[in-house]
């Protein structure tokens, strides 16, 4: 069976749609994501067997049935996270984050007995940032952008909006979808290629941060820097996934 897979931007769009802040309904987001990766099947008239061979977790089945979900259990968030390409999110890790490492942000489920859409986005953000940062650094960044964990009203930017911003940034910077940031202008003889990459990502982060209202210049700079870190973390996640695949293949194909 083939797994149902979403890019990070598609997951962000799904959360926005569930929150009523997107121009498509949740089911339409899922349909667009699946259609994009199955154009050949649809053109050949084999869309039905292709979809029937797609493994659908229960949470996706709920969304297909049109259930309006405003919150998720931790297991449902983990199931969604496992759909994200090049992600290695596990329920065990999330339980540790919720109960220990980032407890103030999850002390109280904010959608009845379930975790809110923003709390789900926060878990996806943690999963991305941990590719490059330790938990103490992530907590410090959260203190800057989210202020008080118990009060979302003073956030510089909401978790869903932050997640949507940097995932959109990454896809804009990876226009050919090869999971590598598209940085043009490198010259073989130039001694400082790294500065060009940094400049391109920072410029894109500046553009996204400038769209956020009611921020001081210092706050906007902080959000810009977090966007930059998050985009680089997505890139790192891809390389981590690639290295794990080759490591697993080597161990599996070369038994003792």
Structural domain count, the chain: 1
pLDDT band, residue 3 (cuts 50/70/90):
confident
User: Which three-class secondary structure state does DSSP give residue 160?
Assistant: helix
Domain that holds residue 160: 2-253
What pLDDT is stored for residue 187 in this prediction? 47
What pLDDT is stored for residue 85 in this prediction? 92
What is the distance between the alpha carbons of residues 254 and 241, in angstroms, rounded to a whole number? 20
Query: For 125-177, how does the pLDDT look when each residue is reduced to its tens digit (9 = 90+)?
Result: 999 999 999 999 999 999 999 987 877 788 999 999 999 999 999 999 987 77
For residue 6, give Cα distances in angstroms to 10, 25, 32, 35, 81. 6, 16, 10, 11, 9
pTM of the model: 0.91
Q: State the chain's mean pLDDT as an integer.
A: 90
């Amino acid at each position: 069976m083939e797994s149902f897979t979403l890019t990070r931007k598609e997951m962000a769009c799904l959360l926005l749609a569930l929150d009523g802040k997107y121009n498509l309904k949740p089911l339409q987001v899922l349909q667009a994501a699946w259609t994009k990766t199955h154009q050949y099947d649809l053109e050949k008239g084999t869309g039905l067997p292709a979809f029937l061979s797609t493994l659908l977790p229960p949470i996706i089945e709920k969304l297909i049935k049109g259930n309006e979900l405003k919150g998720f259990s931790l297991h449902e968030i983990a199931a969604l996270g496992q759909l994200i390409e090049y992600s290695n999110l596990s329920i065990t890790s999330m339980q540790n984050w919720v109960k220990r490492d980032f407890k103030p942000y999850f002390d109280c489920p904010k959608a009845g007995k379930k975790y809110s859409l923003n709390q789900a986005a926060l878990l996806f953000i943690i999963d991305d940032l941990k590719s490059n940062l330790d938990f103490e650094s992530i907590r410090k960044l959260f203190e800057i952008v989210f202020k008080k964990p118990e009060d979302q009203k003073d956030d510089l930017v909401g978790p869903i909006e932050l997640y949507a911003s940097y995932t959109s940034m990454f896809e804009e910077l990876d226009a050919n979808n090869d999971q590598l940031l598209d940085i043009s202008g490198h010259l073989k003889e130039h001694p400082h290629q790294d500065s060009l990459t940094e400049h391109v990502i920072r410029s894109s982060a500046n553009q996204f941060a400038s769209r956020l209202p009611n921020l001081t210049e210092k706050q906007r700079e902080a959000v810009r820097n977090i966007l930059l870190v998050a985009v680089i973390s997505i890139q790192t996640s891809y390389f981590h996934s690639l290295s794990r695949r080759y490591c697993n293949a080597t161990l599996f194909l070369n038994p003792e």
